[in-house]
């Protein structure tokens, strides 16, 4: 095996391979899913652009100032444009010629934001929760077509990424994703590295699981931790644990399974730990538009700080686990 693992992925030195390594059907699925992701998120982008234009014309939710509302939605417009471009890059040939670092970074953040939300949205729909929002973020009701565009945008982009991104990464960096766990020598992560990761993941995961089970310790506005909030907390705990378990699988070579499964899960989980915490922490501390966090500010700092650290450590472990060993495949 030559240098073509996740380190080559991050450094941009990996050489793209032909798409027939994963089969024409998988390549076709990547193309369809990538275009579907871009098209779906375009609907969300449309709503956000309308909200910005409306704010510039003087129509702003009652709990937001014009400046806060324009800034908030301006940020999400930029994020949506990046997401649309990412979807197109996953679908089209030119996407495999892009420099690796920005592709990996934006794919990591997008996957972290959206793919873990798939089970949350499914359970939320079954349980009748608000998994996508029925207002403008400021307490004012929005037209049903805007709610539909937002839900389709999130759901379609999440599903498209879940399908297209693993295939794209398997095609472009096969050494890190093809084969089975145990075909390579276990990654030299070390017990201390794994233990540090477990501790970093365990603290926020246990807190989220505790809240999901109905606990109230650390909450200043307990009424905000409703059924939807508990579902979201439980979903976050689940993905954090899945990511740590995936790293352990790659590091120990057990249990045997297709290598791309734990690699994709760890990649998504680490992105989720970082992306959502980076997004939520400013809200919890700055509280724009009268936003109220369920937990105490100090609890927000601890849980999101540890979550960000855990996500970075998990990505570093994943990168080390994917380093091609000079001794090759056993």
DSSP state of 258: B
Structure confidence at residue 304 (pLDDT): 95
The neighbour count for residue 161, using CB atoms within 10 Å, is 29
Q: pLDDT (tens digit, 9 = 90+) per residue, 119-129?
A: 888 887 776 65
| pLDDT value of position 235 | 94
133: closest CA among 37, 14, 48?
48
- What span, in angstroms and rounded, lies between the C-alpha atoms of 230 and 226? 6
Average pLDDT over residues 306-325: 82
98-111 tens-digit pLDDT: 999 999 999 999 99
Q: What percent of the chain has pLDDT over 90?
A: 52
Cα→Cα distances 99→15, 35, 105, 185, 263, Å? 11, 20, 11, 29, 21
Judging by beta carbons within 10 Å of its beta carbon (0-12, 13-18, 19+), is residue 326 exposed, middle or buried?
Answer: exposed
**Do 37 and 157 contact (CB within 8 A), yes or no?**
yes
Alpha carbons 216 and 184: distance in angstroms, whole number = 45
What is the per-residue pLDDT across 129-182, written as a single tens digit (0 to 9) for each? 555 444 444 445 678 888 899 999 999 999 999 999 999 998 988 877 878 887
CB 30 within 8 A of CB 163: yes
* pTM of structure: 0.82
The residues pairing with 180 across neighbouring beta strands, listed in sequence order, are: 258
Best CA proximity match to 306, nearest among 217, 237, 221: 237
Helix residue ranges, H only, 92-143? 100-114, 117-127
Round to whole Å and give the CA distance between 20 and 176. Answer: 17
Q: What is the DSSP string of 25-83?
A: HHHHHHHHHHHHHHHHHHHHHHHHHHHHHHHHTT---TTS-HHHHHHHHHHHHHHHHHH
Residue 93: which residues within 8 A CB-CB, separation 6 or more?
none
More confident of the two residues 132 and 223: 223
The region of weakest confidence among 53-57, 161-165, 208-212, 316-320 is: 316-320
């Amino acid at each position: 095996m030559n240098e073509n693992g996740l380190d080559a992925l991050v450094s941009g030195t990996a050489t793209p391979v032909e798409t027939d390594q994963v089969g024409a059907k998988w390549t076709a699925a990547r193309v369809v899913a990538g275009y579907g992701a871009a098209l779906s998120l375009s609907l969300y982008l449309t709503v956000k652009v309308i909200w910005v234009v409306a704010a510039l014309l003087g129509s702003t939710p009652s709990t937001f100032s014009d400046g806060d509302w324009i800034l908030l939605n301006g940020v999400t417009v930029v994020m949506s444009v990046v997401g649309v471009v990412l979807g197109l890059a996953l679908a089209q040939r030119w996407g495999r010629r892009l420099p690796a670092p920005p592709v990996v970074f934006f794919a990591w953040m997008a996957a972290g934001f959206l793919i873990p939300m798939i089970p949350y949205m499914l359970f939320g729909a079954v349980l009748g929760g608000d998994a996508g929002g029925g207002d403008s973020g400021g307490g004012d009701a929005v037209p049903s077509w805007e709610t539909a565009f937002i839900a389709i945008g999130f759901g379609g982009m999440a599903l498209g990424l879940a399908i297209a991104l693993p295939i794209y990464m398997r095609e472009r960096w096969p050494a890190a994703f093809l084969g089975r766990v145990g075909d390579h020598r276990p990654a030299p992560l070390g017990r201390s590295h794994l233990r540090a990761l477990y501790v970093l993941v365990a603290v926020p995961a246990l807190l989220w699981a505790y809240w999901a089970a109905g606990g109230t310790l650390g909450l200043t506005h307990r009424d905000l931790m409703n059924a939807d909030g508990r579902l979201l907390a439980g979903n976050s705990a689940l993905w954090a644990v899945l990511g740590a378990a995936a790293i352990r699988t790659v590091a120990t070579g057990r249990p045997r399974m297709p290598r791309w499964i734990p690699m994709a899960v760890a990649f998504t989980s680490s992105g989720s730990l970082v992306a959502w915490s980076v997004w939520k922490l400013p809200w919890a501390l700055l509280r724009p538009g009268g936003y109220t966090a369920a937990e105490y500010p100090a609890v927000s700092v601890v849980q999101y700080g540890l979550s960000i650290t855990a996500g970075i450590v998990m990505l570093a472990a994943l990168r080390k686990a994917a380093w091609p060993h000079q001794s090759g495949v056993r």
